[in-house]
Amino acid sequence: MVGILAVQGAFIEHAHCLEQLSQDYVLLRKKSDIPQNLERLILPGGESTVQRKLLHELDLFSVLKNKILEDMPVFGTCAGLILLAEQIAEESTNGFQSLPVLVRRNAYGRQLGSFSEEGTVGEFSGFPMRFIRAPYIEKILHPDVQILNLTENHITAVKYKNQMGTAFHPELTDDLRIHKLFLAL
């Protein structure tokens, strides 16, 4: 069963992707929504500060962090990448701190700085990428982190053990290859 954090952000778009792949999922809005058979987690795009606050207020943070640290596969897009990052540039507050990268929030600028691009993500060529107030990864903090994409000379997709993070929104495209990769972890 895949859990999708559904406290804020683009969670329904991830649900639609999983439906197209005939994958069962549950929307996680509070601690009691977490099923015993939770095997994977998606952290959607949105506003990372709000999501982090709600994760704590709704008593979801500790349970999900423990599952991530036990190597449950997790996929973070945009704000989800920020929540996973070990460090956030120029900020003292952090999320799960499980992905050994340094991330810069809103690195491509404000909403008007949003853009689309096509590129190679891992083995996937011609992948459509949607960047919306996107972060990027400034620094890799562990040699086992695999860089999956560079956009404008910035790291925008990585994989580390059972964790994947993208600065862009694959859920806002019709391309399901990254979701399939996540489900294969």
Choose, from 14, 17, 86, 171, the residue flagged as catalytic.
171
**Is 17 one of the annotated active-site residues of the chain?**
no
Q: Mean pLDDT of all residues in the chain?
A: 95
CB 146 within 8 A of CB 160: yes
Amino acid at 36: Q
**Is 169 one of the annotated active-site residues of the chain?**
yes
pLDDT at 135: 94
Give the CA dihedral 157, 130, 138, 46, nearest 10 degrees.
-100
**Is 78 one of the annotated active-site residues of the chain?**
yes
Mean pLDDT of 74-88: 97
pLDDT at 94: 86
Choose, from 17, 86, 169, 179, the residue flagged as catalytic.
169
Q: Would you say residue 160 has pLDDT above 70?
A: yes
Mean pLDDT of 43-64: 96
Would the pTM count as exceeding 0.85? yes
pLDDT at 30: 96
pLDDT at 114: 85
Choose, from 78, 118, 123, 152, the residue flagged as catalytic.
78
Architecture of domain 2-184: 3-Layer(aba) Sandwich (3.40)
Q: Would you say residue 107 has pLDDT above 90?
A: no
pLDDT at 111: 59
pLDDT at 112: 55
Domain assignments of the chain as residue spans, ordered by start: 2-184
Mean pLDDT of 121-139: 95
